[in-house]
Amino acid sequence: MTRIASVTVAPPESLEADLLLVGCFEGEAPEVDALEEGVRGAVERLAGRSGWRGREEQAAQTETGPGGMVISLNGLGARRELTWAKLARWLFQAPEISRLTGARRLAFLLPAHAETTGGEAAERITRTLALTGYRYDRYLNQARERERPERIAVIPPAGQEGAFQSALATSLPLAEAVAYSRDLANSPPNEANPAWMEERARELGAERGFEVTVLDQEELARRGMGGLLAVGSASSTPPRLVRLTWGTGGPRVALVGKGVTFDSGGISIKPAADMDEMKFDKSGACSVLGAARAIADLELPVRLSVYVPLAENLLDGNSYRPGDIVRCYNGKTVEITNTDAEGRMILADAMAWAVEDGTDTLIEYSTLTGACVVALGHQAAGLFTPDDKLANDLLAAAGESGERLWRLPLYPEYLEEMKGSHADLKNSAGRWGGACTAAAFLSQFVGDVRSWAHLDIAGVAYLGNDQDGKKKGATGYGIPTTIAWLRRLVA
C-alpha cells in the first residue's frame, strides 16, 4: 500500500524530466545560472514576457522544443513573505500537474531563501515531495497511476546540494512512515476494526524487531482496565491494548495513541453529518505506529514503548451509559456524563500502564476534542504539558519538521471542573474549554511522570476536503515532529 514518489537531487546541467517547475520571487529574475543554456534561455524568455511579475501563484509555461521538456515558471510572491506553508503549497502542486499534463517525471528548481537552505529545510522539502506520490487507492478498481508523479528531481540553491543529498537518508524513511500511518488511518471501519489494527501492529513488530504484547478482553478485565472495556462494550469486535517495545539503550520514551477505530458517539450519538470521518478517530494510534516504524528504520538510540488502546465506540444493549461509574487501571473512578467523551477513557488505561512500566517521557496523541478544532482550526495541533522544557523542545521540533503545534494551558481550575459528584472524576465537563478540561482529565493518569505531553490532533489528523494541494484523508500528523524531537533528545 505505502507508496511515495522517488525523490533525487539532480544536477541542473544534465536534467532529465518531463516538466521543470522554476520558483521565482516577485520583482526578481529567476535564479537559473546553473541550468543548461537552452533551458536557461527558455526560462529567461518566460520571465521577460509582458505581465510577468512573479506574484504568488502566477504561472507561465513554454516548451524547450518539439517533444522536449516543458518549463513552468511559478511565482512565489515577495521574498520577505515566503513561509514554509506557502512553499509547501507550491510543492504540493505536483500531483495536480501530473494529472493535468501527464508528466510523470518532474523537477523543482528552488530559489535561494531561508526556507530552502540548510539541513532542516532540505528534509522538509524532500519529505514533502516524496509524499506528493501518496494515494490511498486500495479500493479503486482502476488505480489512477497517471495522477501521481513517478519521479521528482529537486535542484537545490547553489551550495546546498550536499545538504539535500544528506537529507534523503532521513526524509525518505520518514515519508514512508507517514504514508504507512495514512494507509492505516484511511482504511475503512468495516475492515480496520480493533482486531485488524492488532494484526497490523503484530506485522510491524515482526518486520521491524519490536516485541509485541496484546491484552485481550479477558486480560483487560483481569487487570481492571475499565475505561477501555466500557468504551468497547457494544462492539462485536472486543477491545484490546497493544504494546510494542524496542531498543536496549538511551532514554526511555513512551508513545501512546488513541485507537477508536470508529466513533459513533455511543448512546450520546453524534449527528449523522460527516460521521463517516469518524474512522479517523484512530489517527493517534496510526501516528504512534508510524513513528515506531520510523524510529526503527532510522535506528534511533532510545528505549521505546508504544501503547495502542483499540476499541469501537458503538451502541447496543451492552453500551456503557451516561451515569455509569467506571474504575480505570490506576484505581481512579470516573462518572460517565457523555459516552462521546470516550477517547480519554481508553487513554486513561493505556497511560497508566505506560507509567507502571516506567518511562522518562510520555507523549500521547489523540483526536480528542472538537473544542481544539474550534480553538485552532485545521492549522495546528494543541499541546498540553506541565513541563516547560518539554514544551519548548516539542515546539522547536514541530517548527523544524514543518508541522504546527500550539501550547494551551493546564490551569488547576480545569481539573476542578472534571471532579465527579459520585466518583473521583467525570469524563466531560461540558462545552467550555473542552480541550483544556480533557487534558486535565488525562493528567490524572500520568502518576509521578512530570515529563509528559498530550497532543490534541483533532484538527490536523485528517482533511475533510482537498486543501492547499493536499488531498482529502489522513495526514500522518505528528510523526515528523516526534522524530525531530527524538533526534534532538539523543543528539
Query: Do 197 and 153 belong together in one domain?
Result: no
Q: Is residue 227 part of a domain?
A: yes
Dist CA 352 CA 382 (whole Å): 22
How does strand 452-456 pair with strand 381-384? antiparallel
Query: Do 338 and 391 belong together in one domain?
Result: yes
What pLDDT is recorded for position 129? 96
pLDDT in tens, 469-485: 677 999 999 999 999 99
Q: Is residue 180 part of a domain?
A: no
What pLDDT is recorded for position 469? 64
How does strand 240-246 pair with strand 151-155? unpaired
What pLDDT is recorded for position 237? 98
Query: Do 36 and 134 belong together in one domain?
Result: yes
What pLDDT is recorded for position 470? 74
Alpha-carbon distances of 130 from 105, 174, 424, rounded to whole Å: 13, 10, 48
Alpha-carbon distances of 399 from 55, 84, 162, 312, 380, rounded to whole Å: 26, 10, 22, 34, 11
Query: Do 147 and 246 belong together in one domain?
Result: no
CATH number for the domain including 28?
3.40.220.10
Q: Is residue 179 part of a domain?
A: no
pLDDT(145) > 70? no
Assess contact for 98 and 149: CB atoms under 8 A. Answer: yes
CATH number for the domain including 398?
3.40.630.10
Q: Is 124 a catalytic residue?
A: no
- The mean per-residue pLDDT over the stretch 323-352 comes to 98
What pLDDT is recorded for position 159? 95
Dist CA 282 CA 305 (whole Å): 18
Dist CA 444 CA 410 (whole Å): 12
- If one compares 412 and 103, the residue with the highest pLDDT of the two is 412
pLDDT in tens, 152-186: 999 999 999 999 999 999 999 999 999 999 999 99
Query: Do 115 and 203 belong together in one domain?
Result: no
Dist CA 349 CA 326 (whole Å): 11
What pLDDT is recorded for position 94? 83
Question: Which residue, of 168, 200, 225, is where some domain finishes?
Answer: 168
Query: Do 100 and 224 belong together in one domain?
Result: no
Dist CA 95 CA 102 (whole Å): 10
Q: Is residue 383 part of a domain?
A: yes
- What is the average pLDDT score of the chain? 95
Query: Do 137 and 245 belong together in one domain?
Result: no
What pLDDT is recorded for position 143? 60
User: Minimal CA–CA distance to 238: which of 215, 263, 212?
Assistant: 215
| Domains held by the chain: number | 2
pLDDT band at 329 (very low <50, low <70, confident <90, very high): very high
Query: Do 107 and 162 belong together in one domain?
Result: yes
Residue that the C-alpha cell 531563501 belongs to: 113
What pLDDT is recorded for position 144? 60
pTM of the model: 0.96
Q: Is residue 181 part of a domain?
A: no
Q: Is residue 182 part of a domain?
A: no
Name the active-site residue from 223, 270, 303, 487: 270
Name the active-site residue from 104, 135, 182, 344: 344
Dist CA 339 CA 267 (whole Å): 6
Question: Which residue, of 136, 168, 200, is where some domain finishes?
Answer: 168
Domain extent at residue 122: 6-168
Query: Do 83 and 232 belong together in one domain?
Result: no
Q: Is residue 175 part of a domain?
A: no
- The SS3 call for residue 325 is strand
Q: Is residue 156 part of a domain?
A: yes
Helix/strand/coil (H/E/C) assignment for every residue in 39-95: HHHHHHHHHCCCCCCCCCCCEEEEECCCCCCEEEEEECCCHHHCCHHHHHHHHCCHH
Query: Do 238 and 294 belong together in one domain?
Result: yes
Dist CA 337 CA 428 (whole Å): 6
pLDDT(128) > 60? yes
Residue type, 238: P
- If one compares 63 and 281, the residue with the highest pLDDT of the two is 281
pLDDT in tens, 24-61: 999 999 999 989 988 999 999 999 999 999 999 899 99
Query: Do 112 and 212 belong together in one domain?
Result: no
Q: Is 389 a catalytic residue?
A: no
